[in-house]
Structure 1
Amino acid sequence: MTNRISLTPENIQATLSLEDKIILLNFFSAQHPECVQQMQVLETLSAQYHDALVLAVLDCDLQAMLASQLAQQIGLQSLPTTVVLKNGSPLDVISGLKTVDELTRVLAEHLPAPEEMYLVEAQKALAAGDTNKAYELAKQALDAAPQNSKAKLIFADLCIQLNKTKEAKLILDSVAIADQDAYFLNLQNKLIQAEERKVDPRIIALKERVEAEPLNLSLRAELADLLIEQGLTEEALDALLTILKKDMSFGEAKKTFLELIASLPNGDKVAVEYRRRLYSLLY
């Protein structure tokens, strides 16, 4: 859905009074080259902050009377000019051609922090059922603000959902005591439950058999399947890699190995490491 609106007498009042949005009211004329350049910059900025900004374009050529009325109200001196509004009230007037960086600095106190934007997108991805995408976005939020407790908790939650319990534990251990709220305590309980699920007697029994028969690749493949079933991705990859080291063509080992890596989030360190190990075998 676009966040650019062309202003008319019919929609201007509703647009400029939109709640919880920063409105960039841009006075535009296609006859002014700088207006055209500024529009490109504003479109780039509004795309970056899609959920926070609305670009309201007043075409001074097509809506001359409306533009004249508003220009008198704000004391417009030249084009291009952009008025920053929130909840119907003007916050700032930006005159002249500005770059994306310059506009970002001007709007810094009004725009959400980068980590907040990433977290909003992460929650949308999670609601859509894309846990891997949510994980990537939450990781970006944490990278942008390593000490942000909200980012830590959301990222830890997603780690638990993806059975990355070691990573989740490291994150939760870093949460300051003052930030250990009900959500934190709930995540601690979820982590304990996730770690308890890993102690599956079937896995223990199979590991003992594999140790007793290290050359039995069928047993190791059976163990890998059970590890995948329990969400123990890294252990499963390790078991499959051991098979491939002994026999690259054994059963479905290579196919399962690649599918498992593909199921991990983009840039996942486990995926990167095991893909590298496989390539070292192949080449």
Structure 2
Amino acid sequence: MSNQIQLTSENIQQVLAEQNQDKLILLTFFSAQNPDCMAQADILKSLASSYESHILVATVDCDMQQALASQLAQQIGLQALPTLVLLKNGAPVDMLPGAQSEDDIKKALAEHLPKPEILLLDQAKQALADEDLNTAFAFAKQAYDIDANNTRVKLVLANICIQIQKLDDAQALLDSVTETEQDAYFQNLHAKLEQAKQAQESPEIKMLSAALESEPENDDIKLKLANVLAEAGKKEEALALLLSILKRDMNFMSAKQDFLEIISSLPSGDTLAVSYRRKLYSLLY
């Protein structure tokens, strides 16, 4: 269900009184004849997307719903268009008359919405549901940077780290969870992490590692081992092997392409990606 609704005399009681009691309602008075209303409508559309789980934008079209608009205007003392009224549990908690910037509205929302880290966590969960792991990681990491002691944030971030094969980071997050907070979700993640670790010790990795020990300068073995390591989530080891190949031969088979693909698979701003991208540039330039 969309969190943007056009109010009418038929649905207003249901929208404002019966539904969405878990959301902050942004009641906005709108007229297509007013440029400020049009501009604010675009802002509210963006905010509705950003705060999807927490707000409902309910629009009164003053051109199309004149009787309803007049009735509500008298009740709240409407003096300007646009006007934004914030309602919580069916009661007004704030009113913003006149044109408002996005920052102005966000400041008002911050007074009545969950903490920023919880909002970011919700965005991370939505990105996870959309199978956008890198975006999910970015949101969850921001939430963790705000409150590194929040166990729910730790667990969601650990879950994402397991899925993008940042297993050392996932282990550190799970290790920081106190025993009293190790719930069923924690136990599930702990089991997933152990399974992921076991996958990193495959027979093929062991075989190629042994072969490389016998022939430490064999770039063909290095390339094969690097690809297997990357698939198992050992991306730092894979990048190190590929870089050692590129230092000797920048055009060796698929080494450069594989190197770049591993970097692109890492989350935006990841320290490992930044470090190895710089190392590659130093070879190129």
TM-score, normalized by length of structure 1?
0.85
Match of 1:14 in 2: 14
Among 256, 275, 278, the alignment partner of 2:277 is 275
RMSD across aligned positions (CA): 2.8
Amino acid across the alignment from 1:259: E
**In the TM superposition, what whole-angstrom CA distance separates every residue of 1:181-238 from its partner, at most 9, and x where no partner exists?**
2322332333233223323344234223323322211121221132133232221111
- The equivalent of 1:228 in structure 2 is 230
Query: Which residue of structure 1 lines up, in the alignment, with residue 105 of structure 2?
Result: 103
CA–CA separation in structure 2 for the residues paired with 1:133 and 1:15: 32
Deviates more, 1:88-97 or 1:157-166: 88-97
Aligned equivalent of 2:259: 257
* Unpaired stretches in structure 1, ≥5 consecutive residues: none
Distance 2:209 2:42 in 1: 61
How much does 1:273 deviate? 1.6
Once the two structures are TM-superposed, the CA of residue 153 in structure 1 deviates from its matched residue by 0.6
Corresponding position: 1:83 with 2:101: no
Cα shift at 1:87:
4.6
Aligned residue number for residue 131 of structure 1: 133
Alpha-carbon contact 1:5-1:57 (below 8 Å) kept: yes
Q: Measured at CA, do residues 146 and 82 of structure 1 come closer, stay the same or move farther in structure 2, by a change above 3 Å?
A: same
Conserved? CA contact 1:44–1:100, under 8 Å: no
Per-residue CA distance 1:91-148 (angstroms, 9 max, x = gap): 3333455444443333324223322232223223222333333222222222233222
**1:281 Cα deviation after fit:** 0.9
The counterpart of 2:70, out of the listed 68, 71, 86, is 68
Secondary structure, in 3 states, of the residue corresponding to 1:112? coil
Cα distance, 1:69 vs. partner?
A: 1.3
Match of 2:158 in 1: 156
| TM-score, normalisation: structure 2 | 0.84
Deviation of residue 23 (structure 1)? 1.4
Work out the CA distance in 2 between the residues paired with 1:30 and 1:192: 58
1:249 is paired with a residue whose SS is coil
Residue aligning to 2:171: 169
Change (3 A) 1:31 1:199: closer
Q: Secondary structure at 1:167's aligned position in 2? A: helix
Q: Which residue of 1 aligns with 2:53?
A: 51
How many residues are paired up?
283
Q: Which amino acid aligns with 1:223?
A: L
Task: Give 1:39 shift.
Answer: 4.9
